[in-house]
Structure 1
Amino acid sequence: MSFLEKMDDVFTEKWKFEQETPIQTKMIPELLNGRDVVAESPTGTGKTLAYVLPILQRVNGDKMQTQALIVAPSQELAMQIVNVIRDWVEGTTITVTQLIGGANMQRQVERLKKKPTIVVGTPGRLVELVKAKRLKMNDIRYIVLDEGDQLLSRDYRVIVKDLIEAANAERQVAVVSATITDEIEIVAKKLMNDPIRLQVSVEDMPLSGKVVHSFVKTEARDKTDLLRGLSHLPNIRALAFMNNVDQLRMKEFKLQYNEAPVAVLYSSMKKFERQETLESFRKGDIRILIATDLAARGLDIQGLTHVIHVDVPHTIEQYLHRSGRTGRAGEDGEVLALLSYPEERTYRKLAKGFKPVQKVWYKGKLTEGNSKTVSAQKPATKKPTTNKPKKKR
């Protein structure tokens, strides 16, 4: 009998899985036994439910206490986690609320007065509420760092450390991510009590879709036109990544001017703008959503056909996180890099284990090709001849 089948009857109707994923099989029993966990598993492999289900089993919705805290690096991921929890606690006394930046803080304070069982939030807003003595950390016994590699990076490390140390002394901590580096594991262990390390690879997944890794050689200045063309391909639904917010904003202006079905997502957008953008993308009104790594962290968008690296990422961890957005739950997908000449060396290092296929963009189609074919996209133009008479000497 699986661990999910052993849960309380109140959740039986909801917990009807055809098959547990490997990370759920490994992680759920450890969390139910009270262990601290550092878990690494590819994107789209069920990590959210792997920590949500044990939390729902261990908290008590009848207590007027906030007992569990889930920290996420982005507003979108936090809202996504809240929606998952709401689906599972329907009909129970367990409550959940989100505490994210960009939203009205006073409303969040009012919700905290009702003592939600679980809170899900972004680091900045959580710290604000703790300092204002609105979020009582001493009652919190269960803490999850989703996208833990991001939350334990230098940008958030001190904030997250303070949150964990302010929680109940008997707290249980879980760190989950698609990539856990040695540095992040060392940092995590300092904040945890003898954590167990769990790892799942793509090869361990029973429903791994076929994902093609490919690239198109192009000039940097032509990437915007190429994105516009790709957005008009039939049945494309792509999440595109850029490294720089300023460059992303420039792309947004040029693409919107030409009315391409493309939109952008970045961290400084207002909450309602981000929600509208994601809703339009999920409905199919937008064909390509361009985002920064932070804005797209943990996003689970069903039916994503492509991940596009508009800019080649700096690290293999970035490449894996981005690429893992497609090919989820057994579906096929494609990871396409728009490759300018200066990016070639970095890309070949990152994609070394994936055997990438070269493709060309020609006459509005993306087809397999080679470097010789690329030149056919822009045939050389001869200067017009003139019949001007030669000057006499």
Structure 2
Amino acid sequence: MSAISLLNETLQNKWSFETTMKIQEEMIPAMVEGKDIVAESPTGSGKTLAYTLPILNKVDGNKKQTQALIVAPSQELAMQIVEVIRDWTAGTDITVQQLIGGANSARQIEKLKKKPTIVVGTPGRLNELARQGKLKLKEIETIVLDECDQLLSREYRVVVKSFIENAAFGRQVVVVSATITEEIKLVAERLMFEPISIEIKPEDMVKFGKVVHSFVKVEERDKTDMLRRLANIEGLRGLAFVNNIDQVLMKQNKLEYRDAPIVALHSDMKKDERKKALDAFRKGEARILIATDIAARGLDISGLTHVIHVDVPRTIEQYTHRSGRTGRAGADGEVLTLLSYKDEKTFKKWLRDLSLKGVQKVWTQGQLVEGNAKTVNSKAATAANKASEKKPYQPKSNKKGMTFSKKKEK
């Protein structure tokens, strides 16, 4: 029996997929039972519907009370969750309101006065409105932390903890992410009541493509130019990760100056600027989107051929999380690392710990090919020699087999 059969008739009638994902089969029944949950599942495995459908099944749109809170670390992820909920609640009394930074606070307060059924937001803005008494946490019965490895990190932990502690007595708490460390599990469990643990591995998913983990050795100062070259490869569609916002801004400025088909996403951008960049990437006007991990959290981008680690991730969880963006829905993909000398040791450790084989590549003749500079140059030289050996003799004259000499004047 499918987990969808546990939902109300309205939701069952709206279900249009051929099958459910494994995370949905495990999470939906547990949420319907009211259990607290810690769920780890790969990017693109169907986590959003796994928690939104049970929430929609539980809340009452006729009740003038905010009953569920979904917290996301980025504006983009929050907006995507809101779009999913709006699709599923069309024609019902259930309402949803997004509360994110960068948007008009006064307008959000006015919306809160109407008591939306579900609120989706980022930690900063939610905390601001809760402290002002505009967001009534004590009414909230269900709290979901999407990308909990970010939300329960030291940066947000105190704020997020206050959301849970000030919610209704007996509230249900669900935390989900593609990667959850033991530390995050411990923090989460302290805020929950006898949580159940759900872990979905990539091989448990219905469809997953072959993903090649490759690297190209490049000097730190040459990484921006390598991005420019990659952006000119026909058919490439890549999400490029940089470790800090300063590097995103620097690379964005240099690449825009050279008219490279690249856009950037970072926290200093205004809402309309972020939307413009994402639209350009989704439409194919830009081949590469450069972002930090936080800015790219939860982005729903289909058809990525490449994930590019411009900077080697600081943790193995980061490497896994980034890399999971490609090879989705049965499509093949490539995870390419721009590897400078100082990061070789760390990179090789990540691959070893993940039991992955790294394929070295080198840039030659306008493309990336497997091998290193020595082997590729050797092949090119061999090919050139063979070509010269086979080259037929071509006389200088246009008339084959005839030669001319100038007669000496007497």
Q: TM-score range by the shorter chain?
A: over 0.9
In the TM superposition, residue 373 of structure 1 has moved relative to its aligned partner by 4.2
- C-alpha distance in 2 between matches for 1:189 and 1:372: 53
1:94 has 2:99 as partner: no
Letter paired with 1:245: I
TM-score, length of structure 1 as denominator length: 0.94
Residue 193 of structure 2 is matched in structure 1 by: 193
Residue 40 of structure 2 is matched in structure 1 by: 40
CA deviations 1:181-202 (Å, max 9, x no partner) are: 1100110011011100110111
Contact 1:299 1:325 in 2 (8 A): no
Residue 291 of structure 2 is matched in structure 1 by: 291
Task: Identify which range, 271-280 or 153-162, moves more after superposition.
Answer: 271-280
1:327 has 2:327 as partner: yes
- C-alpha distance in 2 between matches for 1:279 and 1:83: 16
Residue 135 of structure 1 is matched in structure 2 by: 135
- C-alpha distance in 1 between matches for 2:230 and 2:178: 28
Residue 236 of structure 1 is matched in structure 2 by: 236
SS in 2 for 1:116: coil
1:76 has 2:76 as partner: yes
In the TM superposition, 1:231-380 aligns within 5 A as: 231-352=231-352, 353-373=355-375
Residue 144 of structure 1 is matched in structure 2 by: 144
Letter paired with 1:321: H
CA deviations 1:304-348 (Å, max 9, x no partner) are: 111000000010010011111111121211110011111111111
Residue 225 of structure 2 is matched in structure 1 by: 225
In the TM superposition, 1:377-388 aligns within 5 A as: none
- C-alpha distance in 1 between matches for 2:376 and 2:291: 27
SS in 2 for 1:328: coil
CA deviations 1:286-318 (Å, max 9, x no partner) are: 110000000001112011111000000010010
- C-alpha distance in 2 between matches for 1:262 and 1:373: 31
SS in 2 for 1:330: coil
- C-alpha distance in 2 between matches for 1:228 and 1:25: 43
- C-alpha distance in 2 between matches for 1:73 and 1:375: 46
Question: Compared with structure 1, are the counterparts of its residues 112 and 374 closer, same or farther at alpha carbon in structure 2 (3 Å cutoff)?
Answer: farther
- C-alpha distance in 2 between matches for 1:57 and 1:114: 21
% identity of equivalent residues: 64
- C-alpha distance in 2 between matches for 1:6 and 1:195: 21
SS in 1 for 2:243: coil
Contact 1:5 1:15 in 2 (8 A): no
1:208 has 2:208 as partner: yes
Aligned length: 377
Residue 52 of structure 1 is matched in structure 2 by: 52
- C-alpha distance in 1 between matches for 2:225 and 2:375: 18
- C-alpha distance in 2 between matches for 1:2 and 1:151: 31
CA deviations 1:19-68 (Å, max 9, x no partner) are: 11111111110000000000001111011111011000000111111100
SS in 2 for 1:274: helix
Contact 1:145 1:175 in 2 (8 A): yes
- 5+ unaligned residues in a row in structure 2: which ranges? 382-410
Contact 1:100 1:121 in 2 (8 A): yes
Task: Identify which range, 253-262 or 346-355, moves more after superposition.
Answer: 346-355
In the TM superposition, residue 260 of structure 1 has moved relative to its aligned partner by 0.3
- C-alpha distance in 1 between matches for 2:263 and 2:216: 21
SS in 1 for 2:13: coil
CA deviations 1:327-372 (Å, max 9, x no partner) are: 1121211110011111111111112222121111112111111252
Contact 1:139 1:168 in 2 (8 A): yes
Question: Compared with structure 1, are the counterparts of its residues 374 and 267 closer, same or farther at alpha carbon in structure 2 (3 Å cutoff)?
Answer: farther
Structure 1 or 2, whichever has the larger Rg, is 2
C-alpha RMSD of matched pairs (Å): 1.3
In the TM superposition, residue 6 of structure 1 has moved relative to its aligned partner by 3.4
Contact 2:11 2:53 in 1 (8 A): no
Contact 2:3 2:24 in 1 (8 A): no
SS in 2 for 1:351: helix
Question: Compared with structure 1, are the counterparts of its residues 123 and 375 closer, same or farther at alpha carbon in structure 2 (3 Å cutoff)?
Answer: farther
- C-alpha distance in 2 between matches for 1:370 and 1:260: 26
Residue 13 of structure 1 is matched in structure 2 by: 13
Letter paired with 1:164: I
Residue 165 of structure 1 is matched in structure 2 by: 165
- C-alpha distance in 1 between matches for 2:6 and 2:22: 17
CA deviations 1:231-282 (Å, max 9, x no partner) are: 0111111100000211111111110000001011111211111111111111
- C-alpha distance in 2 between matches for 1:103 and 1:335: 34
Letter paired with 2:251: K
Residue 28 of structure 2 is matched in structure 1 by: 28
CA deviations 1:43-99 (Å, max 9, x no partner) are: 110111110110000001111111000000011111111111111111111111110
- C-alpha distance in 2 between matches for 1:143 and 1:251: 38
Contact 1:360 1:373 in 2 (8 A): no
- C-alpha distance in 2 between matches for 1:122 and 1:310: 27
Letter paired with 1:198: I
- C-alpha distance in 1 between matches for 2:329 and 2:95: 28
CA deviations 1:108-157 (Å, max 9, x no partner) are: 11111111111100000000000111101111000000000110000000
- C-alpha distance in 2 between matches for 1:68 and 1:341: 48
SS in 1 for 2:14: coil
SS in 2 for 1:264: strand
- 5+ unaligned residues in a row in structure 1: which ranges? 380-393
